[in-house]
Structure formats: structure tokens, C-alpha cells
Amino acid sequence: MTERTNSRPAVSDAELLQRHLEGDEQAFATLVERYRRELFNFLARFTGDRALAEDVFQEAFLQLHLSAATFDPSRRLKPWLFTIAANKARDAMRSRSRRQAAPLDATIDGDQEETYASLMPSDIPRPDESILTLETRQTVRSIVEDMPENLRVVLLLSYFHDFAYKEIAEILSVPLGTVKSRLHAAVKHFARRWKAAVERSGDESASE
């Protein structure tokens, strides 16, 4: 939702960062608040640990503060912030000996970018729909958190946070083709696990 003050458009991220560099303390606080929910939710899903996500969140904004002068105002701040956060999260997870990413076995051919929605089977609900039951939300969260790290992060960035493929490639420092491959593999993984969860739930209901 776009922030507005006195019916005027919200100040851009780039302008807030510039005001911060000029000594406006409130400007940086506004940036933190603007991305607090979205970035924390990304980190919580990525790491699977809310306490760790909170630590990484703070480290990411500290790095943004320290590196503010190097930001190119002609570019979007959000992908840069998520790049910092993703790198911090991976470092934190490695330090805690989390499992390593699994190899990929799927690719997407062609030049036209496919969206997550076009890849995901139609009977699988979007996890951000307000109509979802608590049980369904928990199932979606469990499947996502159990995915290999390299698949989980590209799924989160594409589906939950609506980044374009090129932006995801920039955030993760990987080729565009790798983003497409990982997204395809992530969708296959999610669809397979979702189908199994639905079938298991149906079997349990039938036995009652």
C-alpha cells in the first residue's frame, strides 16, 4: 500500500536515503518502518527461525546505513536491500550449520519469462489469500520452510515478494537462467509436497 501524507505521494526510497545521508534521522526510521513487515517476513520464511530473522533484519539495516553513500539513486532500493538481507541470512545460516542446498534437476526453456502463477498447479492456493484456513497456511509454511535453501529463497522472492526474474538474479548474484531453473524446481517440489499433504489429509478424514 502506498504511503500518503496530506494526499501527496509518499517520498521515494531514494529520496529518504539521500535525506538520511544529509543528517535527517527520521528519514532512515521511515525506511525501516516501510520495509519492516515485508523484509522480516521474507527473512523468517527464508531462515525458518524468527529470532534469527530479527537479528538478520537488524544487520541488514545496519549494513544499509553503512553503505548508503554507495547506493545508485537511479536504481530501485528494494532489490538492493533484499540483496543485503539475503547475504546476511545465508551467512547466519551457514554459521549455524544449516543444511546445504540440494542440486537442481530442472530447467525452463525459451526466452519468455513464466510467472510463478503459470507454473503452479491451479488447485494450489496462494499463501497470502486471506480466506486460507489456519491449517492450510501452516501446511504451506511447513512445505516452504522444509525446501532446500536455494529453492526456498527464489520461491519467496518470486511468489511472496513479486520480484522480477532479473531482480532475483541480481539479489542472489546468479545468472538469469539459474533463477528460472530454481523457480521451476521449487514449484515442482512444492506441488509434489502439496499433493502429498492433501492426499494424507484426505486419508485421515476418511478413517475418522
Whole-number pLDDT of residue 93: 84
Cβ atoms of 13 and 76 closer than 8 Å:
yes
Query: Does 111 map to a domain?
Result: no
The DSSP H or E segment spanning 136 is helix 134-145
| One domain for residues 91 and 133 | no
> Which CATH number does the domain housing residue 25 bear?
1.10.1740.10
| One domain for residues 35 and 68 | yes
Query: Does 108 map to a domain?
Result: no
Q: What span, in angstroms and rounded, lies between the C-alpha atoms of 43 and 49? A: 8
Per the structure, how many domains does the chain have?
2
Contacts of 114 (CB under 8 A, 6+ apart): 108, 180
Query: Does 100 map to a domain?
Result: no
> Which CATH number does the domain housing residue 197 bear?
1.10.10.10
> Could you give the count of Cα atoms lying within 13 Å of 152 in the half-sphere of its Cβ?
24
Instruction: Kindly report, residue by residue over 130-189, the tens digit of the pLDDT.
Output: 445 667 777 888 888 888 888 999 988 988 888 889 999 999 999 999 999 999 999 888
Task: Read off the C-alpha cell for 59.
Answer: 544487520
Domain boundary among 64, 95, 126: 95
Whole-number pLDDT of residue 25: 83
Query: Does 101 map to a domain?
Result: no
| One domain for residues 91 and 128 | no
Q: What span, in angstroms and rounded, lies between the C-alpha atoms of 55 and 83? A: 16
Query: Does 23 map to a domain?
Result: yes
Three-state secondary-structure class, residue 9: strand
Domain boundary among 95, 125, 158: 95
Q: Domain span at residue 38? A: 4-95
* Per-residue pLDDT in tens (0 to 9) along the chain, 208 residues: 444 444 455 889 999 999 999 999 899 999 999 999 999 999 998 988 889 999 999 999 999 999 999 999 889 999 999 999 999 998 888 876 443 333 333 333 333 444 444 445 445 555 454 445 667 777 888 888 888 888 999 988 988 888 889 999 999 999 999 999 999 999 888 888 888 887 877 666 555 5
Closest CA to 113 of 173, 170, 181, 160: 181
Closest CA to 155 of 58, 46, 79, 31: 46
| One domain for residues 91 and 8 | yes
